[in-house]
Amino acid sequence: MSDTERHTISVLVDNEAGVLARVIGLFSGRGYNIESLTVAEVDAANALSRITVVTTGTPMIIEQIKAQLDRLVPVHKVVDLTNDGPYVERELALVKVKASGNRRVESLRIADIFRARAIDSTGESFVFEISGSTEKLDAFIGLMEPLGLVDVSRTGVAAIARGMEGL
């Protein structure tokens, strides 16, 4: 669809059994897209977790997604970071490349440009750690492909609003 938008949404939830299944079930049951979804406890004292979900849809669907999330009982707060002013989002990837000779040198050179760190190496391979925007990670992985990309593990997006206000 032409008027599809990409939105990053933060959801503050009770860290209780089944809460992630509720959120994922909502997306699959109603046919919404999930581009990435991350979750971890962010406030142990109050047993609160933060889910960051990147989704796409028409403006009407995006509004639905937020309203549907908000009415889940263990959900405390839903914030559409994309709508609510500037925010930063980061993703982390571990990228394994098997290469020797020139290609090995080239992979290191590109890693350097992207500020990726080699966190494991053998005579014939590296594991790079890289963080940044989704696009940056896509670009890095794309460049590694012809050099001997073996494996990728990505965390999905974590995001937070700029400025001093909390969620």
Partner 1 sequence: MASREMTGSEIVLKALVDQGVDTVFGYPGGAVLPIYDAIFAQNELRHVLVRQEGGAVHMAEGYARSTGKVGVVLVTSGPGATNAVTGLTDALMDSVPVVCLTGQVPTHLIGNDAFQEADTTGITRPCTKHNYLVKEMEQLPRVMHEAFHVARSGRPGPVVVDLPKDILMGKGAYSGPENFVHRSYQPGTKADAGAIAEAVELMANAKRPLFYVGGGVINSGPEASKRLTRLVRLTGYPATVTLMGLGAFPASDPQCLGMLGMHGMYEANLAMHGCDVMINVGARFDDRVTGRLADFSPGSKKIHIDIDPSSVNKNVPVDVPLIGDAGEVLGQLLRAWKAREPRPDNAALETWWRRIEAWRSRDCLKFAASETSIKPQQAIKRLYERTRDRDVYITTEVGQHQMWAAQYFKFEEPNRWMTSGGLGTMGYGLPAAIGVQVAHPESLVIDIAGEASFLMNIQELSTAVQYQLPVKAFVINNQWMGMVRQWQELLHGGRYSESYTAALPDFVKLAEACQWTGLRATHPDELDDAIDAMIATDGPVIADIVVEKEENCFPMIPSGAAHNEMLLGPDEKAEAPVSEEGMVLV
| Closest separation in Å from C-beta 84 to partner 1 | 17
| Closest separation in Å from C-beta 52 to partner 1 | 18
How far apart, in whole angstroms, are the C-alpha atoms of residue 129 and residue 46? Answer: 32
| Closest separation in Å from C-beta 48 to partner 1 | 10
How far apart, in whole angstroms, are the C-alpha atoms of residue 125 and residue 20? Answer: 36
Return the number of the residue (67 or 105) whose C-beta is nearest partner 1.
Answer: 67
Is there a contact between 6 and 53 (Cβ–Cβ < 8 Å)? no
Q: Which helix (H) or strand (E) holds 159?
A: strand 158-161
Return the number of the residue (44 or 113) whose C-beta is nearest partner 1.
Answer: 44
Q: Which residues contact 49 (CB under 8 A, 6 or more apart)?
A: 12, 13, 14, 15, 19, 39, 40, 41, 42
Return the number of the residue (25 or 85) whose C-beta is nearest partner 1.
Answer: 25
Residues that bind partner 1 in the complex, under the rule CB under 8 A = 14, 17-18, 21-22, 25, 29, 60, 63-64, 67-68, 70-76
| Closest separation in Å from C-beta 156 to partner 1 | 23
Q: N- to C-terminal Cα distance for the chain?
A: 31
Return the number of the residue (70 or 151) whose C-beta is nearest partner 1.
Answer: 70
| Closest separation in Å from C-beta 25 to partner 1 | 6
Among residues 157, 146, 156, 147, the alpha carbon closest in space to that of 125 is found at 147
Return the number of the residue (66 or 104) whose C-beta is nearest partner 1.
Answer: 66
Is there a contact between 49 and 40 (Cβ–Cβ < 8 Å)? yes
